[in-house]
């Protein structure tokens, strides 16, 4: 049986001294990790990990992209596209990309207009190269849903979905996926969202190195956590663990195409 952590930042420096432990676990437990990037440097690092440790294995997949937090400043979109084209055989998708008004308060140069320019460039590259996308949509689900149909995107996932039920229905009606993380084990709001989701359009994730509280307090966020999420999802949706595992793996396969 296979499991999939659909969103984790394994190229983050917080994981540097844990790579061997995590990679050994992934191989032993058959947990596939989709490594997300946030800028040019993390994209390069993710690709380096892929080539060094999983060159001939699909257990480690790479998404490259520019996170809205890093849309301002010296983003060189031509350099990013050159990287994409030169390493296309090792790149599964484009992510983490999106829009987030939170970051406009932290950096006056990171305007929503600038974020949208970078976001649309990432969508263009995804369309051009027929890649799925992983979306950061905090406080911006409506804006993203307005932009996405302008591009022929193979598949899209609203990572860490935290919107309302009406937008969830809009997302699922368009055939887009949503993902749920370790917070599912202790958040009643997320329980309700999971139950409202199309079961064929959900994935699970950890979003490491983000840390979690309650039962995960103090633990290193790693792909191993997806087993607990799968189990709890099976309880909430009244499925057997085996059936839930198969559904989520099939969903992941369709998302990655």
Could you tell me if 137 and 99 are in contact, meaning their C-beta atoms sit under 8 angstroms apart?
yes
Q: Rounded distance, CA 10 to CA 198, Å? A: 28
120 is known to lie in a ligand binding site? no
C-alpha torsion angle, residues 238, 240, 246, 249 (rounded to 10): 60
7 is known to lie in a ligand binding site? yes
Domain parsing of the chain, residue ranges: 3-256
159 is known to lie in a ligand binding site? yes
Separation in Å, CA 209 to CA 28, 74, 124, 228, 250: 21, 25, 28, 17, 26
**Tens digit of pLDDT at every position of the chain (257 positions):** 899 999 999 999 999 999 999 999 999 999 999 999 999 999 999 999 999 999 999 999 999 999 999 999 777 889 999 999 999 999 999 999 999 999 998 888 999 999 999 999 999 999 999 999 999 999 999 999 999 999 999 899 999 999 999 999 999 999 999 999 999 999 999 999 999 999 999 999 999 999 998 888 889 999 999 999 999 999 999 999 999 999 999 999 999 98
136 is known to lie in a ligand binding site? yes
Six token digits for residue 94: 């484009």
Six token digits for residue 197: 């989701």
> What would be the CATH architecture of the domain defined by 3-256?
Alpha-Beta Barrel (3.20)
Q: How many whole angstroms from its chain centre is CA 235?
A: 23
Q: Rounded distance, CA 192 to CA 94, Å? A: 29
Could you tell me if 228 and 190 are in contact, meaning their C-beta atoms sit under 8 angstroms apart?
no
Q: Rounded distance, CA 149 to CA 204, Å? A: 24
9 is known to lie in a ligand binding site? yes
Tens of pLDDT, residues 147-180? 999 999 989 999 999 999 999 999 999 999 999 9
Q: What is the pTM of this model?
A: 0.96
67 is known to lie in a ligand binding site? no
């Amino acid at each position: 049986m296979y499991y999939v952590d659909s969103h984790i930042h394994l190229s983050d420096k917080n994981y540097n001294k844990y790579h061997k432990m995590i990679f050994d676990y992934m191989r032993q437990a058959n947990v596939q990790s989709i490594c997300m990037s946030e800028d040019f440097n993390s994209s390069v690092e993710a690709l380096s990990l892929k080539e060094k440790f999983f060159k001939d294995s699909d257990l480690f997949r790479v998404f490259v992209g520019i996170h809205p937090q890093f849309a301002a400043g010296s983003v060189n979109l031509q350099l990013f596209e050159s990287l994409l084209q030169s390493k296309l055989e090792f790149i599964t998708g484009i992510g983490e990309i999106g829009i987030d008004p939170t970051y406009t308060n932290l950096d006056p140069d990171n305007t929503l207009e600038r974020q949208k320019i970078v976001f649309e460039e990432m969508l263009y590259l995804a369309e051009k190269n027929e890649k799925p996308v992983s979306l950061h949509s905090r406080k911006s689900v409506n804006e993203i849903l307005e932009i996405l149909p302008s591009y022929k995107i193979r598949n899209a996932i609203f990572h860490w979905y935290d919107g309302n039920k009406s937008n969830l229905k809009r997302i699922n009606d368009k055939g887009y996926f949503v993902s749920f993380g370790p917070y599912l084990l202790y958040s009643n709001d997320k329980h309700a969202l999971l139950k409202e989701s199309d079961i064929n359009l959900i994935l699970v994730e950890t979003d490491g190195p983000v840390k979690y509280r309650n039962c995960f307090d103090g633990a290193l966020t790693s792909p191993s956590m997806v087993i607990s999420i799968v189990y709890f999802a099976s309880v909430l949706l009244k499925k057997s663990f085996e059936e839930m595992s198969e559904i989520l793996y099939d969903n992941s396969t369709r998302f990655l195409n």
